Amino acid sequence: MRGPGLQIATVIFAFGIILRFFEIFMMGRKKNLSAKRASGTGAGFRTVATRFLPADSETMRRSIFTIVAGYIFHIGLFVTLFLFVPHIQLFDALTGLSWPGLPNPVVDFFTVISMIALLALMWQRLTKPVLRLLSTGHDHLVWTLTFLPLLTGYLAYHHLFIPYTWMLAFHILSVELLMILFPFTKLMHAFTLFVSRWYTGSMAGEKGVKV
């Protein structure tokens, strides 16, 4: 039941990401001529790591909803994508790489909490004034692109609503859509955030500031 769709999507995904990185690095940046307190390289990598956690407890308190829901969603997505046994088999078939997965009911749980967190984040986006102001069609598009594979995968796994093969086809289609649009939308943040954190961390590190 696997057509060329996934291969085409993978190629677009990969080339798109390379293109986007090219677009970013092509912009270049000026050499810092001021007397540095330290090299920024290590500080950059430090920030890549530290930004996985909120800056301090006060930031945690102020942004608790975004942080908690954001984390649950990302962890749930990670587990569903990489630790579901059929997914691992697919990666194995494509790349020859394989790793142990989690029992299906556990993955199922993570899928559900991931979807709940996504719904909560969307609710926040639609109600909180700051997010209403910031949000554009683009934000709703990437939310939908992320939500659909989770939903169709969940429905397919539980054989709900329509025949399994149909639902699986929708699931694969939604993943292909996600992959094709990934490099050209802010889904790219999954890769560029490491670059952003490094730049910020290294610029601050040269001034002797840990950020």
Partner 1 sequence: MSKPSLERGINALREQIDAPIASFFSSCVHCGMCADACLFHTETGDPRYVPIHKLEPMRRLWEQEYTLVGRLKKLVGLSKKITAEELEEWQELVYNSCSLCGRCSMVCPVGNDIVYMIRKMREGMSAAGYAPEGLIGASTRAVEIGSPMGVTIKAVEAQVKHAEKDLGFEIPMDAEGAEYLVLMSSMEIMNYPEYLQAVAKIMNQAGKSWTISSEAFEATNAGIQIGASDIARVLVQRIVDAAEKLKVKTVISPECGHAYTAIRWEGANLVGRPFNFKVQHILEVLDELREQGLLKTEGSEASRMTFHDPCQLVRRGGVIEQPRNLLQMVASDFVEMKDHGTMNWCCGAGGGVSANEDAHELKLTSFNRKKKQLDELKVDALVTACANCRIALEEGLEENEMDIPVLGLTEMLAEHLVTEKSGKEE
Residues engaged in binding partner 1 (CB under 8 A): 19-20, 23-30, 32-35, 37, 47-48, 51, 54-56, 58-59, 62-63, 66-67, 70, 125, 128-136, 139, 142, 184, 186, 188-189, 192-193, 195-201, 203-204, 207-211
Phi and psi at 189, nearest 5°, equal -55, -25
Q: How far is CA 92 from the centre of its chain?
A: 21
Q: Minimum distance between the CB of residue 156 and partner 1, rounded to whole angstroms?
A: 27
Contacts of range 183-188, beta carbons closer than 8 Å, 24 or more positions apart:
183/12, 183/13, 183/15, 183/16, 183/17, 183/19, 183/20, 184/16, 184/20, 185/138, 185/141, 185/142, 185/145, 186/138, 186/139, 186/142, 187/142, 187/145, 187/146, 188/17, 188/20
Q: Minimum distance between the CB of residue 188 and partner 1, rounded to whole angstroms?
A: 5
Q: Minimum distance between the CB of residue 22 and partner 1, rounded to whole angstroms?
A: 10
Contact of 179 with 9, CB cutoff 8 Å: yes
Q: Which is nearer to partner 1, 58 or 105 (CB)?
A: 58
Q: Minimum distance between the CB of residue 202 and partner 1, rounded to whole angstroms?
A: 10
CA dihedral 85, 162, 174, 169 (to 10 degrees): 70
Q: Which is nearer to partner 1, 69 or 172 (CB)?
A: 69
Q: Minimum distance between the CB of residue 81 and partner 1, rounded to whole angstroms?
A: 18
Q: Which is nearer to partner 1, 51 or 87 (CB)?
A: 51
Q: Which is nearer to partner 1, 153 or 201 (CB)?
A: 201
Rounded Cα distance between 104 and 85, Å, is: 8
Q: Which is nearer to partner 1, 10 or 192 (CB)?
A: 192
Q: Minimum distance between the CB of residue 197 and partner 1, rounded to whole angstroms?
A: 3
Rounded Cα distance between 167 and 55, Å, is: 42
Q: Which is nearer to partner 1, 163 or 208 (CB)?
A: 208
